Every structure is written in structure tokens, then in C-alpha cells.
Amino acid sequence: MENFVVTITCLLIGMTVRRIPAFPDETGNVLNLFVLYISLPALVLLKIPDLVFSKNLLVPSLMPWVILLLSCSAILLLSKILKWDRATTGCLLLLIPLGNTSFLGIPMVKAFFGDHAIPYAVLYDQLGSFLALATYGSFILAFYGPGENSPTLASIIKKIISFPPFIALILAFLLRAIPYPSIAVSLLKILSSTLVPLVMIAVGFQLTLRLNKEVTSQLCIGLSIKLIAAPIAALLICKIAGLEGEAVKVSIFESGMPPMVSAGALAILANLSPKLTAALVGIGIILSFITLPFLYQLL
């Protein structure tokens, strides 16, 4: 509970400093870039070597893809029934299957489960959400967005292998058998400790809560799938399969994260219902602070 209070406090700090003129509009982006290039890679390098390999590691690696398939199927079906336009369908197909499993997910996993559970969250994010954004997300943007944004296989591969946390993940696996020098461990601990405060301050700084009446129906449907239906489906799948353990719990918890901020930025750039996109990201984050504690209790 103490970690959760710290997380909420940092979110409120971000919302507060946004109103201070000394902080430029780019503050949130700068903080996110620091996390992307420094804090998150440091955390990956520090925590991944602690993983004990077992069949349970398959769950955080595969669960994001199962949720993606189920969410995508539900949205396509609803799109036909409710006759959504292409922009709305593309927006929901991009944002609902892809959760904020890194910038928000890792701090929330740390707050609820503790430091020892972070490696499972990293696997869920890097082998699931990030790869899905680079592959599935690129396809959705190409199919529903402007033609000039069509990705190539080479561009997708380049995006994956140049992503700093993914590079850190590969290095962490390669270096598992080599003990880090004590000075390296100390440095990684200091740098990785910046992740939670910087992420939550950045989220608070960039948070928008504008509810546009034009997109209320799609917003409610999308967030119901993302925050409620998806984690319940993940929970039922694991129960039926007889899966249990901390890796399983973290995977189910991560499946209930709100829409991915990065996916939202790409949707806006591609003009995929910008008003709906902003509402899904902003209101989704706020609602997740209500739904995630309930989900944790179910676990």
C-alpha cells in the first residue's frame, strides 16, 4: 500500500507542476525519453538476471498475444454490429489490444507485487506489448491510416532492434551467467529507481480528462473491454488451464492496464479519431487506479 500511495503522489505532483509556468510543455516528453533510454534499460539489466527459468515464464510471454487476439476479435465484431467508421475502428483496434504495460504497468506491478515481480512485467511488456506495437500496430496503422505510413518488414525489424529496453533485454539474457561488478549494480539500482517517480510525474503532467460527447459510446465500450473484459478473460483462461504462481498473477494484472500512450500518439498522428484516442488514454489511466486494485484482489 505504501508503494501505491507513492505512485499516486507522483501522479499528483505531475498534475501540479503542469500548472507552473517554469515547466515547458515538452516536460512530459523529456521525462518519458529519460525513462525510455535510461531508467527502463537499467531496470531490465538489473532484474532480468534474477529470473529463474520455468514453464511459468511462457505465461507473461504469450498472454499479451492471447489478449490481443480476443480484443481484436471483439472490436471487429462490434464494429460490424454498430457500424463504426474506419477511423473509429482503427483507433480501437490499435489502442484496446495494446496496454500501457511499461510506463504504467511496471510501476503498478512494483506497487502491488514488489520488486521481485518486475522481471515478469518486463517480459510481458517487451515480448508482448512492445513487439505487438511494432508488428500488429504497424499493420493497423498501414491498413487504417494514411497510405504513406505503410511499414516495411525492414522498418519493423529496425524499430524492434533499436528500441533501448529491447536491447537491454537481449544484453541481460546474454550476461546472465556473468556477475555484475558491485559498482555496476549500484549504478543500475540508482538509475532504475528513477523509473517510478519520473513515469508517474510524466503521466500526471500529460494527463487529459476531456470527455467528448461524440465519442462517449465508443469510449465506454473500449475501456470496458480493456479494463474489465480483458483481465477477466485472462483470469478465466489461467484458471481453466490450471496455471498459478506469481508470473501468472502479474500477467493477468498487466492485461488490465489502460491503453498504451505510445499507441495513442501514433493513432493521433495517423488521424485515427484523435478525440476518441485522447479520451481512451487519459480517462483510461484514471479509471485504472480504480480497476487495478479490484483486479489485484481477485488474484
Specify the pLDDT at position 90: 92
pTM above threshold 0.85: no
Which tens digits make up the pLDDT trace of 88-101?
Answer: 999 999 999 999 88
What integer pLDDT is reported at residue 43 of this predicted model? 82
Q: Tell me what the mean pLDDT of segment 261-266 comes to.
A: 76
Q: pLDDT, tens digit, for every residue of 150-172?
A: 566 777 677 777 778 788 888 88
Cβ–Cβ under 8 Å, residues 66 and 236:
no
Q: pLDDT-based confidence at 146, cuts 50/70/90?
A: low
Per-residue pLDDT tens digits for 26-64: 888 788 788 878 887 888 888 778 766 667 778 898 999
| Block residue for cell numbers 508470473 | 247
pLDDT higher than threshold 90 for residue 70: yes
CA distances from 193 to 26, 105, 183, 196, 219 (A): 22, 15, 15, 7, 34
pLDDT recorded at residue 130: 78
pLDDT one-digit tens code per residue, 198-239: 877 887 787 766 666 778 899 999 999 999 999 999 999 999
At residue 212, the pLDDT reads 67
**Per-residue model confidence (pLDDT) at position 148:** 47
Q: Does residue 1 register a pLDDT over 60?
A: no
C-alpha–C-alpha distance, residues 48 and 116, integer Å: 10
* Proportion of the chain above pLDDT 90, given as a percent: 34
For residue 259, the SS3 value is strand
d(CA 31, CA 118): 21
